[in-house]
Amino acid sequence: MAGEIQNPIIRVRDITVQFGATRVLDGLNLDVKRGEILGFVGPSGAGKSVLTRTIIGLVPKVAGSIEVFGVDLDSSSTSQRRNVERRWGVLFQQGALFSSLTVRQNIQFPMREYLRVSQRLMDEITMAKLTMVGLKPEVAERFPSELSGGMIKRVALARALSLDPDLVFLDEPTSGLDPIGAGDFDELVRTLQRTLGLTVFMVTHDLDSLYTACDRIAVLGNGKIIAAGSMADMQASQHPWLRQYFHGKRARAVMG
């Protein structure tokens, strides 16, 4: 337990991912520390989602190693891997809620698989999760097709959190939300990180999110991490893309 605190929660080493002839990630290294919110940025098409999906195990890699919670995902046994999967939650870009289940059933789905608890407790926990992500209990009986975009994101977050994971992956959580909704969402992620002691890996384009929610920022470019550090480090960086990103018109507007 004590060793785990020192070690990074995700350790990515020399990862290479290739689709056909195009090399998307090229010997990438990244550490995510326990309890931090890491904001992950980079130009469109740079491979941010690919890296997320590679860590989760949805995209095969050509070379490199990935350790999550100190478990090497390539050499782990099935039960070790299941144990890791039980401890992380994923929020997909489009929510990826099961369309034929209600919100309540969606949130209870992982609990039903992994835990043996009574229906009453599951219902109560579902209500607790819905309250945490800022939704009313009435939403529970609705189907995903009856929800707005922002509500889908919130329900998807509630589902990602349903087993009280130690680590959550958020793929563009605030895209498609209005600025107020996005601000609330950042606040929510912060609160949850504080209350549940979460580690958050967040792919985002939202400068506001980077300023308000993230402890550390990593920048992806040319298949590698160009820079990683605090907001101040990013602003001090001389890299041309970073200068454009953090000193552009929109960035200045955010900084006021």
249 binds other proteins (CB under 8 A): no
Does 163 help bind other proteins (rule: CB under 8 A)? yes
Give residue for tokens 């040319």. 222
Which one-letter DSSP state was computed for residue 33?
-
Is 194 a binding residue for other proteins by CB under 8 A? The answer is: yes
Site for other proteins in 81-120 (CB under 8 A): 98-100, 104, 111, 115-118
Closest separation between CB of residue 154 and other proteins, Å?
A: 15
Binding to other proteins by residue 180, rule CB under 8 A? no
Q: What SS3 state is found at 173?
A: coil
User: Which DSSP state fits 138?
Assistant: G
Sheet of strand 167-171, all strands in order from the earlier edge strand to the far edge: 88-91, 167-171, 199-203, 37-41, 216-221, 224-229
Range in contact with other proteins (rule: CB under 8 A) among 39-47, 68-76, 157-165, 235-243 = 157-165
- 2-21 residues in contact with other proteins (CB under 8 A) are none
Is 79 a binding residue for other proteins by CB under 8 A? The answer is no
Size of the site for other proteins (CB under 8 A): 34
The H or E element spanning position 71 is strand 71-72
62 binds other proteins (CB under 8 A): no
Angstrom distances, CA of residue 58 to CA of 50, 159, 193, 223, 243: 9, 19, 25, 18, 33
Q: How far is the CB of 222 from other proteins (least distance, A)?
A: 33
Helices (H), 161-229: 179-196, 207-212
Task: Give the nearer residue to other proteins in terms of CB position, either 194 or 250.
Answer: 194
Identify which of residues 6 and 195 has a Cβ nearer to other proteins in the complex: 195
Sheet holding 71-72, edge to edge: 22-32, 10-19, 63-68, 71-72
Q: Is residue 74 part of the contact set for other proteins (CB under 8 A)?
A: no
Burial of 3 (0-12, 13-18, 19+ CB in 10 A): exposed
Nearest residue (CB) to other proteins, 19 versus 98: 98
Residues that bind other proteins (CB under 8 A): 1, 98-100, 104, 111, 115-118, 121, 123-125, 127-129, 131-132, 137, 140-141, 143-146, 161, 163-164, 191, 194-197
